[in-house]
Amino acid sequence: MRLNIAVLAGDGIGPEIVGQALRVMKAVAGKFGHELHTEEALVGAVAIDATGNPYPDATHELCMRSDAVLFGAIGHPRFDNDPSAKVRPEQGLLAMRKKLGLYANIRPLITFPSLLDKSPLKTDRIEGADFVAIRELTGGLYFGQPQGRSENGNTAYDTCLYTREEVERILKLSFEFARKRRKKLTVVDKANVLATSRLWRQVSKEMEPQYPDVEVEYMFVDNAAMQLIQWPKRFDVMVTENMFGDILTDEASVIAGSLGMLPSASVGVHTSVFEPIHGSYPQAAGKNIANPCATILSAAMLFEYAYNLNEEAALIRKAVEASLEAGAVTEDLTDDKSKALTTSAVGDWIVQYILK
Protein backbone atom coordinates (compact mmCIF):
# COMPACT_ATOMS: atom_id res chain seq x y z
CA MET A 1 0.00 0.00 0.00
CA ARG A 2 1.19 3.54 -0.77
CA LEU A 3 0.93 5.84 2.23
CA ASN A 4 0.88 9.56 1.41
CA ILE A 5 1.60 11.57 4.56
CA ALA A 6 1.84 15.33 5.03
CA VAL A 7 4.42 16.13 7.71
CA LEU A 8 3.93 19.33 9.70
CA ALA A 9 6.65 19.35 12.36
CA GLY A 10 5.93 22.89 13.54
CA ASP A 11 7.78 24.64 16.36
CA GLY A 12 9.89 23.90 19.40
CA ILE A 13 10.43 20.18 19.90
CA GLY A 14 8.13 19.41 16.97
CA PRO A 15 10.90 18.56 14.47
CA GLU A 16 12.66 16.27 16.98
CA ILE A 17 9.66 14.23 18.02
CA VAL A 18 8.18 14.04 14.53
CA GLY A 19 11.54 12.91 13.23
CA GLN A 20 11.49 9.90 15.54
CA ALA A 21 7.90 9.06 14.67
CA LEU A 22 8.81 9.10 10.98
CA ARG A 23 11.69 6.71 11.62
CA VAL A 24 9.27 4.33 13.32
CA MET A 25 6.74 4.66 10.51
CA LYS A 26 9.42 3.90 7.91
CA ALA A 27 10.50 0.81 9.85
CA VAL A 28 6.93 -0.45 10.08
CA ALA A 29 6.16 0.36 6.45
CA GLY A 30 9.26 -1.51 5.33
CA LYS A 31 8.49 -4.54 7.50
CA PHE A 32 4.94 -4.83 6.15
CA GLY A 33 5.75 -3.99 2.53
CA HIS A 34 4.18 -0.53 2.33
CA GLU A 35 5.51 2.42 0.35
CA LEU A 36 5.77 5.47 2.59
CA HIS A 37 5.74 8.85 0.82
CA THR A 38 6.09 11.98 2.94
CA GLU A 39 6.13 15.69 2.15
CA GLU A 40 6.88 18.46 4.62
CA ALA A 41 5.23 21.86 5.05
CA LEU A 42 5.32 24.81 7.44
CA VAL A 43 2.89 25.63 10.24
CA GLY A 44 2.98 27.80 13.36
CA ALA A 45 5.72 30.26 14.28
CA VAL A 46 8.12 28.96 11.63
CA ALA A 47 5.42 29.57 9.02
CA ILE A 48 4.87 33.12 10.31
CA ASP A 49 8.59 33.79 10.04
CA ALA A 50 8.71 32.44 6.48
CA THR A 51 5.40 33.65 5.04
CA GLY A 52 3.59 35.81 7.60
CA ASN A 53 0.82 33.21 7.77
CA PRO A 54 0.72 30.50 10.49
CA TYR A 55 -1.15 28.14 8.13
CA PRO A 56 -0.07 28.98 4.57
CA ASP A 57 -2.17 28.06 1.55
CA ALA A 58 0.57 25.70 0.35
CA THR A 59 0.39 23.82 3.65
CA HIS A 60 -3.38 23.48 3.39
CA GLU A 61 -3.13 22.26 -0.20
CA LEU A 62 -0.65 19.58 0.86
CA CYS A 63 -2.93 18.46 3.69
CA MET A 64 -5.90 18.22 1.34
CA ARG A 65 -4.10 16.00 -1.17
CA SER A 66 -2.57 13.72 1.47
CA ASP A 67 -4.07 10.63 3.10
CA ALA A 68 -3.20 11.84 6.60
CA VAL A 69 -1.22 14.50 8.45
CA LEU A 70 1.48 13.83 11.04
CA PHE A 71 1.69 16.96 13.16
CA GLY A 72 4.17 18.01 15.85
CA ALA A 73 3.48 21.13 17.89
CA ILE A 74 3.19 24.89 17.55
CA GLY A 75 3.97 27.85 19.77
CA HIS A 76 6.82 30.19 20.64
CA PRO A 77 7.49 32.31 23.76
CA ARG A 78 7.87 35.52 21.80
CA PHE A 79 4.20 35.31 20.87
CA ASP A 80 3.09 34.11 24.30
CA ASN A 81 4.76 37.13 25.89
CA ASP A 82 3.30 39.65 23.43
CA PRO A 83 -0.42 40.21 24.08
CA SER A 84 -0.56 42.74 21.23
CA ALA A 85 0.63 40.30 18.54
CA LYS A 86 -1.94 40.26 15.75
CA VAL A 87 -0.73 36.98 14.23
CA ARG A 88 -0.07 33.99 16.49
CA PRO A 89 1.08 30.41 15.87
CA GLU A 90 -2.07 29.03 17.49
CA GLN A 91 -4.14 30.71 14.80
CA GLY A 92 -2.54 28.29 12.38
CA LEU A 93 -3.78 25.32 14.37
CA LEU A 94 -7.29 26.72 14.58
CA ALA A 95 -7.27 27.51 10.86
CA MET A 96 -6.12 23.97 10.04
CA ARG A 97 -8.91 22.49 12.13
CA LYS A 98 -11.51 24.75 10.55
CA LYS A 99 -10.39 24.36 6.93
CA LEU A 100 -10.00 20.59 7.19
CA GLY A 101 -13.30 20.27 9.04
CA LEU A 102 -11.65 18.50 12.00
CA TYR A 103 -14.60 18.60 14.36
CA ALA A 104 -13.54 15.74 16.67
CA ASN A 105 -10.36 15.23 18.66
CA ILE A 106 -10.01 11.65 19.91
CA ARG A 107 -7.67 11.12 22.86
CA PRO A 108 -7.30 7.56 24.19
CA LEU A 109 -5.89 7.26 27.68
CA ILE A 110 -4.48 4.04 29.06
CA THR A 111 -2.06 3.34 31.88
CA PHE A 112 1.22 1.51 31.33
CA PRO A 113 2.18 -0.89 34.14
CA SER A 114 5.79 0.32 34.16
CA LEU A 115 4.69 3.96 34.58
CA LEU A 116 2.16 3.61 37.38
CA ASP A 117 4.60 5.02 39.91
CA LYS A 118 5.18 8.11 37.74
CA SER A 119 1.66 9.34 38.30
CA PRO A 120 1.01 11.50 41.39
CA LEU A 121 -2.18 9.49 41.88
CA LYS A 122 -2.43 6.29 43.92
CA THR A 123 -1.73 3.13 41.95
CA ASP A 124 -4.96 1.43 42.96
CA ARG A 125 -6.91 4.39 41.55
CA ILE A 126 -5.29 4.40 38.12
CA GLU A 127 -4.20 0.82 37.41
CA GLY A 128 -6.32 -0.45 34.53
CA ALA A 129 -7.71 2.97 33.58
CA ASP A 130 -8.72 2.88 29.92
CA PHE A 131 -11.00 5.50 28.41
CA VAL A 132 -11.39 7.74 25.38
CA ALA A 133 -12.01 11.47 25.58
CA ILE A 134 -13.72 12.99 22.54
CA ARG A 135 -13.48 16.76 22.30
CA GLU A 136 -15.48 18.93 19.90
CA LEU A 137 -12.86 20.88 18.00
CA THR A 138 -14.30 23.56 15.72
CA GLY A 139 -16.92 25.33 17.82
CA GLY A 140 -17.33 27.00 21.20
CA LEU A 141 -15.31 29.84 22.69
CA TYR A 142 -12.26 29.24 20.52
CA PHE A 143 -14.20 30.03 17.35
CA GLY A 144 -17.21 32.04 18.54
CA GLN A 145 -17.75 35.51 17.15
CA PRO A 146 -17.61 38.27 18.17
CA GLN A 147 -14.30 38.29 20.00
CA GLY A 148 -12.30 41.33 20.97
CA ARG A 149 -11.25 44.04 23.37
CA SER A 150 -12.58 47.50 24.04
CA GLU A 151 -10.77 50.50 22.63
CA ASN A 152 -9.34 51.37 26.03
CA GLY A 153 -8.09 47.81 26.46
CA ASN A 154 -9.82 47.34 29.81
CA THR A 155 -12.57 44.98 28.64
CA ALA A 156 -12.34 41.79 26.61
CA TYR A 157 -15.00 39.39 25.41
CA ASP A 158 -15.37 35.97 23.80
CA THR A 159 -18.53 34.32 22.54
CA CYS A 160 -19.43 30.65 22.96
CA LEU A 161 -21.56 29.39 20.08
CA TYR A 162 -22.82 25.93 19.13
CA THR A 163 -25.36 24.81 16.55
CA ARG A 164 -27.51 21.69 16.68
CA GLU A 165 -25.64 20.27 13.69
CA GLU A 166 -22.27 20.64 15.43
CA VAL A 167 -23.54 18.97 18.58
CA GLU A 168 -25.29 16.12 16.76
CA ARG A 169 -22.26 15.10 14.71
CA ILE A 170 -19.87 14.94 17.67
CA LEU A 171 -22.42 13.06 19.78
CA LYS A 172 -23.08 10.58 16.95
CA LEU A 173 -19.37 9.82 16.77
CA SER A 174 -19.22 9.43 20.55
CA PHE A 175 -22.21 7.10 20.76
CA GLU A 176 -20.64 4.93 18.04
CA PHE A 177 -17.31 4.84 19.89
CA ALA A 178 -19.10 3.77 23.07
CA ARG A 179 -20.85 0.98 21.17
CA LYS A 180 -17.46 -0.43 20.14
CA ARG A 181 -16.10 -0.28 23.69
CA ARG A 182 -17.85 -0.86 27.03
CA LYS A 183 -21.08 0.87 26.01
CA LYS A 184 -20.94 3.76 28.46
CA LEU A 185 -20.97 7.43 27.45
CA THR A 186 -20.38 10.39 29.76
CA VAL A 187 -21.57 13.74 28.40
CA VAL A 188 -19.75 16.58 30.17
CA ASP A 189 -21.31 20.04 30.23
CA LYS A 190 -22.28 22.97 32.45
CA ALA A 191 -26.00 22.88 31.77
CA ASN A 192 -26.86 24.50 35.10
CA VAL A 193 -25.22 27.73 33.90
CA LEU A 194 -24.60 27.81 30.15
CA ALA A 195 -27.16 27.93 27.35
CA THR A 196 -24.82 26.10 24.98
CA SER A 197 -24.51 23.25 27.48
CA ARG A 198 -28.28 23.02 27.74
CA LEU A 199 -28.38 22.58 23.95
CA TRP A 200 -25.80 19.79 24.24
CA ARG A 201 -27.85 18.04 26.90
CA GLN A 202 -31.12 18.44 25.00
CA VAL A 203 -29.67 17.02 21.78
CA SER A 204 -28.03 14.12 23.60
CA LYS A 205 -31.27 13.16 25.33
CA GLU A 206 -33.07 13.25 21.99
CA MET A 207 -30.44 10.91 20.51
CA GLU A 208 -30.40 8.41 23.39
CA PRO A 209 -33.27 6.26 22.02
CA GLN A 210 -31.22 5.62 18.87
CA TYR A 211 -28.58 3.90 21.01
CA PRO A 212 -30.52 1.79 23.56
CA ASP A 213 -27.48 -0.38 24.21
CA VAL A 214 -25.39 2.58 25.44
CA GLU A 215 -25.63 3.77 29.04
CA VAL A 216 -25.53 7.58 29.12
CA GLU A 217 -24.67 9.77 32.08
CA TYR A 218 -24.48 13.56 32.32
CA MET A 219 -21.86 15.28 34.41
CA PHE A 220 -21.08 18.93 35.10
CA VAL A 221 -17.55 19.82 34.07
CA ASP A 222 -16.40 20.75 37.58
CA ASN A 223 -17.56 17.37 38.88
CA ALA A 224 -15.93 15.64 35.90
CA ALA A 225 -12.62 17.31 36.74
CA MET A 226 -12.83 15.86 40.25
CA GLN A 227 -14.02 12.41 39.14
CA LEU A 228 -11.17 12.11 36.63
CA ILE A 229 -8.68 12.29 39.46
CA GLN A 230 -10.64 10.34 42.06
CA TRP A 231 -12.10 7.54 39.94
CA PRO A 232 -10.61 7.52 36.41
CA LYS A 233 -11.56 3.86 35.90
CA ARG A 234 -15.27 4.76 35.96
CA PHE A 235 -15.04 6.34 32.49
CA ASP A 236 -15.33 4.60 29.13
CA VAL A 237 -16.08 7.30 26.53
CA MET A 238 -16.28 10.95 27.52
CA VAL A 239 -17.50 13.68 25.17
CA THR A 240 -17.51 17.41 25.74
CA GLU A 241 -17.23 20.81 24.10
CA ASN A 242 -14.05 22.46 22.91
CA MET A 243 -12.69 24.36 25.91
CA PHE A 244 -13.84 21.83 28.52
CA GLY A 245 -12.19 19.06 26.50
CA ASP A 246 -8.97 21.02 26.17
CA ILE A 247 -8.70 21.39 29.94
CA LEU A 248 -9.94 17.95 31.01
CA THR A 249 -7.72 15.97 28.65
CA ASP A 250 -4.60 17.81 29.80
CA GLU A 251 -5.65 17.15 33.39
CA ALA A 252 -6.05 13.47 32.54
CA SER A 253 -2.41 13.29 31.45
CA VAL A 254 -1.35 12.83 35.08
CA ILE A 255 -3.13 9.47 35.05
CA ALA A 256 -0.71 8.16 32.42
CA GLY A 257 2.27 9.60 34.26
CA SER A 258 3.46 12.03 31.60
CA LEU A 259 2.02 14.40 29.03
CA GLY A 260 4.63 12.93 26.72
CA MET A 261 2.72 9.63 26.50
CA LEU A 262 -0.63 10.79 25.13
CA PRO A 263 -1.45 10.65 21.41
CA SER A 264 -4.49 11.99 19.60
CA ALA A 265 -6.34 11.99 16.31
CA SER A 266 -8.35 14.88 14.92
CA VAL A 267 -10.96 13.64 12.44
CA GLY A 268 -13.77 15.15 10.45
CA VAL A 269 -14.67 16.18 6.92
CA HIS A 270 -11.31 16.06 5.14
CA THR A 271 -7.81 14.77 5.95
CA SER A 272 -7.29 13.57 9.52
CA VAL A 273 -4.46 14.93 11.67
CA PHE A 274 -2.47 12.84 14.16
CA GLU A 275 -0.54 14.62 16.90
CA PRO A 276 0.70 14.41 20.50
CA ILE A 277 -1.41 16.39 22.93
CA HIS A 278 1.53 18.26 24.49
CA GLY A 279 2.79 21.63 23.32
CA SER A 280 5.98 22.83 21.66
CA TYR A 281 8.02 22.79 24.93
CA PRO A 282 10.39 25.52 23.68
CA GLN A 283 12.69 25.17 26.71
CA ALA A 284 13.72 21.73 25.42
CA ALA A 285 13.93 22.57 21.72
CA GLY A 286 17.16 21.40 20.15
CA LYS A 287 18.35 19.60 23.29
CA ASN A 288 17.35 16.07 22.19
CA ILE A 289 15.63 15.40 25.53
CA ALA A 290 11.91 15.47 24.66
CA ASN A 291 9.80 12.33 24.96
CA PRO A 292 8.83 11.16 21.44
CA CYS A 293 6.41 8.44 22.57
CA ALA A 294 3.20 10.46 22.26
CA THR A 295 4.09 11.28 18.67
CA ILE A 296 5.07 7.68 17.94
CA LEU A 297 1.77 6.51 19.43
CA SER A 298 0.01 9.11 17.29
CA ALA A 299 1.64 7.45 14.29
CA ALA A 300 0.11 4.17 15.48
CA MET A 301 -3.30 5.87 15.47
CA LEU A 302 -2.54 7.10 11.94
CA PHE A 303 -1.97 3.54 10.70
CA GLU A 304 -5.17 2.41 12.40
CA TYR A 305 -7.54 5.28 11.62
CA ALA A 306 -6.31 6.44 8.21
CA TYR A 307 -5.57 3.03 6.67
CA ASN A 308 -7.18 0.38 8.90
CA LEU A 309 -3.74 -1.19 9.33
CA ASN A 310 -4.37 -2.59 12.78
CA GLU A 311 -1.47 -5.04 12.88
CA GLU A 312 1.00 -2.28 12.10
CA ALA A 313 -0.52 -0.05 14.77
CA ALA A 314 -0.40 -2.84 17.33
CA LEU A 315 3.29 -3.43 16.66
CA ILE A 316 4.10 0.24 17.30
CA ARG A 317 2.21 0.19 20.59
CA LYS A 318 3.91 -3.04 21.60
CA ALA A 319 7.32 -1.53 20.82
CA VAL A 320 6.58 1.58 22.90
CA GLU A 321 5.40 -0.51 25.83
CA ALA A 322 8.50 -2.70 25.58
CA SER A 323 10.74 0.39 25.66
CA LEU A 324 9.02 1.56 28.84
CA GLU A 325 9.40 -1.83 30.49
CA ALA A 326 13.09 -1.91 29.54
CA GLY A 327 13.65 1.56 30.98
CA ALA A 328 14.57 2.98 27.57
CA VAL A 329 12.98 6.33 28.34
CA THR A 330 13.66 10.07 28.30
CA GLU A 331 14.29 12.12 31.42
CA ASP A 332 10.62 12.86 32.13
CA LEU A 333 10.05 9.16 32.87
CA THR A 334 13.01 8.35 35.11
CA ASP A 335 14.09 9.48 38.56
CA ASP A 336 17.72 8.78 37.73
CA LYS A 337 18.55 11.38 35.09
CA SER A 338 21.93 9.73 34.48
CA LYS A 339 20.07 6.76 32.97
CA ALA A 340 17.78 8.81 30.75
CA LEU A 341 18.04 8.31 27.01
CA THR A 342 17.93 11.07 24.44
CA THR A 343 14.99 11.59 22.11
CA SER A 344 16.86 9.96 19.25
CA ALA A 345 18.10 7.08 21.41
CA VAL A 346 14.52 6.22 22.36
CA GLY A 347 13.71 6.29 18.66
CA ASP A 348 16.67 3.96 18.00
CA TRP A 349 15.42 1.49 20.63
CA ILE A 350 11.88 1.38 19.27
CA VAL A 351 13.00 1.07 15.64
CA GLN A 352 15.34 -1.79 16.54
CA TYR A 353 12.53 -3.56 18.40
CA ILE A 354 10.27 -3.27 15.34
CA LEU A 355 12.91 -4.56 12.94
CA LYS A 356 14.08 -7.50 15.04
Q: State yes or no: is 213 an active-site residue.
A: no
Q: CA 50, 276, 12, 339: dihedral to nearest 10 degrees?
A: -150
> H-helix or E-strand containing 61?
helix 57-65
Q: Which of 103, 190, 236, 281 is catalytic?
A: 190
Q: State yes or no: is 236 an active-site residue.
A: no
Q: State yes or no: is 130 an active-site residue.
A: no
As a whole number of angstroms, the distance between CA 75 and CA 88 comes to: 8
Q: Which of 82, 157, 222, 287 is catalytic?
A: 222
Q: Which of 218, 250, 318, 348 is catalytic?
A: 250
Q: State yes or no: is 158 an active-site residue.
A: no
Q: Which of 55, 103, 142, 281 is catalytic?
A: 142
Q: Which of 189, 236, 246, 332 is catalytic?
A: 246
Q: State yes or no: is 222 an active-site residue.
A: yes
Amino acid at 63: C
Per DSSP, the residues of 240-301 read E-HHHHHHHHHHTHHHHT-GGG-EEEEESSS-EEEEESS---GGGTTSS-S--HHHHHHHHH
What are the start-end ranges of the E strands in 103-230? 104-110, 130-136, 148-149, 156-157, 184-189, 215-220
CA 155, 160, 162: angle at the middle one, nearest 5? 165
Catalytic site residues?
A: 142, 190, 222, 246, 250
